[in-house]
Every structure is written in structure tokens, then in C-alpha cells.
Amino acid sequence: MIKQLVNPFILALKARNLTVEIHHHSAFQMVLSNDSPFNSTINGQLCEKIHGFIIKPQVKHHCVAEDGTLNVVNIEPYSSVGLELSGRFQPNEDYLVFNSPSETSSFFSLEKETYDIYTIINALLSQIPTLDYDERVLQIIEYIHSKYANQGITPQTFADIVYLSPSRLAALFKEQTGSSLSKYLLWTRLRHAIILTLTEKDRNLTDIAYATGFYDQSQFNKYMYEMFGMPPKALKMNSDLIEIY
């Protein structure tokens, strides 16, 4: 069984001995060493022998980790955890670099140095106020988890389930999660598609796209690259080097 991080707006991967070309994407991204220092170029600035970085959306970057493994954590920028992370940047600051394990631990308010991604993510999530979700929001979340592959889902679909207008439901969902219903649905589909791509290696991408609610492989390609900077084909080609948490 795959142990997954509990927050729906977080997608965490482990990559080993991997060089990633220059790219950018819509998600916040944290790249943290899982063992050895690595090199990265961020916004044209070479950062050598670092232990991690956090970048804002659309910042160009690439990584070289030929001798170790990296934790790559993607976060929806308008979710509650994304907004918490955004608040840690200074004005006009596009990225943060960690030059040592102690700097990483200090940023996440950890009592001791650790490479464990669950400890790090839980420390970040602990900074978000606890919220009792509206029962109607929970109904929608349950529906998305069970019906995400249905290509016919619309805002009216959700509204009919909880007897609210689409606009009122959209406002309620955003108030409680920080993000939109459409983004929640997209992240759910992408998460399942990535799991299938990495675990069912003989399955073709068109079939995976259709099985997870995308109209075709082109739409899957578009959203995968837009959100995470890597098309499904590249993920599949490197599936022996990448694992999902």
C-alpha cells in the first residue's frame, strides 16, 4: 500500500540520481535533499552544494542530483498550506535556499535535523489553524474522491449534491480550503494519474488519462506540465528513478 501525505494539495515525490532540465510550473515547489548536497540553477543563479530550496510559481530552475536522492514537494499556491508558505517570503523574493540541514530544520521549526519528509510536511501543516469543515464541503470532497474519473463533472454537479448555488458553494469551498473546487478536482486527478504512471509502467498514457478523468492524453499533458513542469512522458521515462510518497 502506498503511504500518502494527507493534504490533498500536496504532491510529494522522491527522485534519485536525476538531472532535470530547466522548467517552470504553477505549483510552489520545495526540493529537499534526502541525503547528499546537490546543485541547482534558480532564476539563472547557480546554487552549489545546497540542501534544499523553495521556489514560487513560474520561477525557472533545474536540478542536478547525480549522487543522491531528492524530495520534490509540489504545493497548490492558493491552498491553505500554499498561502502559509507564501507568507514566509520577503517582498520581491522568488526563492529560498537552504545551505545546510540545520537551515532546513530551522525554517520548519524542527527540534532536530531530519530528512524525513513526513516530519517536515507535518511541521508545515501544523502552522495552519485547525478548521472544522462544513458538512457540505466534506460531502463534495468525498464525492470527488470517489467520482474524479467522471469526465462530466461540472460546477452544477457539485451544487446539486449539497443544494447550494454554484457560486455559494464555490465561495464556501474556497473559504475553507483556500483554493477552488476545480483545482481540488484537478489535483485529485493528477495525483491518481501520477500514481498509475509510476506503478503501472506497461499501461499507456492515453489509457491513464482517460481512467483518471482527462478527456485525452493532450489534456493530461497540458495540466501535468502546467502544474509540475514535467510532461507525463518524461515521468514515465524516468519511472525507475521516481517514487510517489
Residuewise pLDDT in 10s, the chain (245 residues): 333 445 889 999 999 887 888 889 999 999 999 888 999 999 999 999 999 999 999 999 988 887 889 999 999 999 999 999 999 999 899 999 999 999 999 999 998 988 889 999 999 999 888 778 899 999 999 999 999 999 999 999 999 999 999 999 999 999 998 899 999 999 999 999 999 999 999 999 999 999 999 999 999 999 999 999 989 999 999 998 899 98
The rounded distance, in Å, linking the Cα atoms of 5 and 19 is 25
Cα–Cα distance for residue pair 242/31, rounded to 1 Å? 14
Which of 173, 75, 184, 90 is CA-nearest to residue 124?
75
Decide if 10-125 and 135-228 have a common fold: no
Q: What is the pLDDT of residue 6?
A: 56
CA distance 51 to 171: 39
Q: Report domain 135-228's class.
A: mainly alpha
Topology, domain 10-125: Jelly Rolls (2.60.120)
Q: How many residues does the chain have?
A: 245
The pLDDT, as a whole number, for residue 5 is 45
The three cell numbers of residue 108 are 520548519
> What cell numbers appear for 162 in the block?
449539497
3-state secondary structure at position 205: helix
pLDDT of residue 170: 96
Domain ranges across the chain: 10-125, 135-228
Burial of 112 (0-12, 13-18, 19+ CB in 10 A): exposed
Ramachandran quadrant class, 165 (left: phi over 0; alpha: psi -120 to 50; beta: rest): beta
Q: φ, ψ for residue 182 (rounded to 5)?
A: -65, -35
Give the list of residues 6+ apart from residue 180 with CB closer than 8 angstroms, or none. 78, 170, 173, 174
Q: Indicate if the alpha-carbon torsion angle 241, 206, 73, 94 is positive or negative.
A: positive
- How much is the pLDDT for 52? 95
Centroid of chain to Cα 152 = 24
- The DSSP code sequence of 77-120 is TTSHHHHHHHTTSPTT--EEEE-SHHHHHHHTT-SS----HHHH
Interior/surface letters 15-48, b for 16+ CB within 10 angstroms, e for the rest: bbebebeeebbbbbbbbbbbeebbebebeeeebe
What is d(CA 200, CA 151) in angstroms, rounded to the nearest whole number?
22
Query: What does DSSP assign to residue 162?
Result: H
